[in-house]
Amino acid sequence: GRRLEGRTALVTGALSGIGQAAADRLEAEGARVFRLDLSPAEGERRIAADVSDLSAWRQVAELIRAETPTLDILVNSAGIFGLGSLAEHSAESFYRFFAVNQLGPALGIKALLPLLRRAGNASVVNVASGAALFGFDNALGYMSSKWGLRGASRALARELAPEVRVNCIFPGLIDTPMAGINSAERQSDIAERTPLKRIGRPEEVAAAIAFLASDDASYITGSELTIDGGICA
């Protein structure tokens, strides 16, 4: 159905993977979708910006305000991944994880808050990771930043209620360029460790995002949803 008819949405990281699938899904459900990513792209409502840059976010807010007084949906999917031990992380590499994965969503919400508040019934979906629920090896910067995003999501759910709902999702391994599942061997290794016996598809994460963005989730804020084939179970 078209649950999101008449709504306006902004999706970050919208040129790839989960963000792209989310933007497509929201659009299919009737929303008008702004697609933000690092590099400029052809097409309507494409925005080039770095989510870790507050002044860039302020320009994004201006741009959206020029077209519409309200923003109903914000999906924070832009993120970076990388492995590394404590010894391998420089202060700069730590900072980059925090700046993009943790601070990015908060800066976006900060810049867009007047538009979100004015919508009256806005929904923010932050894309964390199973790595913010359990641990995995050699991912200090990534894990730290995603646990930070989890905390920020709860803090903002409390702070921005009742006008804005804020929820956080925790994908498991999803078949996107970031996951880089390029060998059949790795694919079957993941399938074996996953209760549902396969890797996830970006569209399956997008379906959960669309639910949380919609009025079907009208009493859901501060919640945490895994979309991981049961791997965190």
Active site residue 142: yes
Stretch that binds ligand NAD, among 26-34, 50-58, 62-70, 207-215 (CB under 6 A): 50-58
Residue 78 binds ligand NAD (CB under 6 A) = yes
Residue 227 binds ligand NAD (CB under 6 A) = no
For β-strands 224-227 and 164-171, DSSP reports them as parallel
Measured on CA atoms in the order 173, 207, 219, 118, is the torsion positive or negative?
Answer: positive
SS3 state at 177: coil
16 vs 121 by CB, closer to ligand NAD: 16
Closest C-alpha to 157, from 144, 169, 146, 166: 166
32-38 CB contacts, 8 Å cutoff, 24+ apart: 32/7, 32/8, 32/68, 33/8, 33/9, 34/8, 34/9, 34/10, 34/64, 35/11, 36/10, 36/11, 36/12, 36/60, 36/78, 37/12, 37/13, 37/78, 38/78
Half-sphere exposure of 141 (CA within 13 A, CB side): 23
* Radius of gyration, CA atoms only, the chain: 17
String marking each residue 12-31 x if it binds ligand NAD according to CB under 6 A: xx-xxxxx------------
String marking each residue 168-207 x if it binds ligand NAD according to CB under 6 A: ---x-xx-xxxx----------------------------
Residue 74 binds ligand NAD (CB under 6 A) = no
Measured on CA atoms in the order 229, 126, 132, 217, is the torsion positive or negative?
Answer: negative
Catalytic site residue from 142, 147, 170, 211: 142
Residue 38 binds ligand NAD (CB under 6 A) = yes
108 vs 165 by CB, closer to ligand NAD: 108
Closest CB 77 distance from ligand NAD, rounded Å: 5
69 vs 198 by CB, closer to ligand NAD: 198
Stretch that binds ligand NAD, among 71-79, 115-123, 187-195, 208-216 (CB under 6 A): 71-79
Which helix (H) or strand (E) segment is 164 a member of?
A: strand 164-171
Closest CB 136 distance from ligand NAD, rounded Å: 11
| Residues labelled catalytic | 142
**Which residues contact ligand NAD (rule: CB under 6 A)?**
12-13, 15-19, 37-38, 50-52, 77-81, 100, 127, 129, 171, 173-174, 176-179
